[in-house]
Amino acid sequence: MTNKEKAISFLWQHLLLLISLYLMTLGVVLCVKSSLGSSVISSLPFVFSLAGPISRVPEWTIGGYTIAMNFILVFCQILILRRNFDPMQLFQLVIGFAFGWLIDLNMALTAGLECTTLPSQIFAQFAGCTIMGIGIA
What is the 3-state secondary structure of 11-73?
A: HHHHHHHHHHHHHHHHHHHHHHHHCCCCCHHHHHHHHHHHHHHHCCCCCCCHHHHHHHHHHHH
pTM: 0.88
C-beta neighbour count of 87 within 10 angstroms:
7
Identity of the amino acid at 36: L
pLDDT in tens, 64-117: 999 999 999 999 999 999 999 999 999 999 999 999 999 999 999 999 999 999
C-alpha span between 33 and 51 (Å, rounded): 17
- Residue spans of the domains in the chain: they are 15-136
Task: Inform me whether the pLDDT recorded for 53 exceeds 80.
Answer: no
Task: Inform me whether the pLDDT recorded for 18 exceeds 90.
Answer: yes
C-alpha span between 110 and 104 (Å, rounded): 10
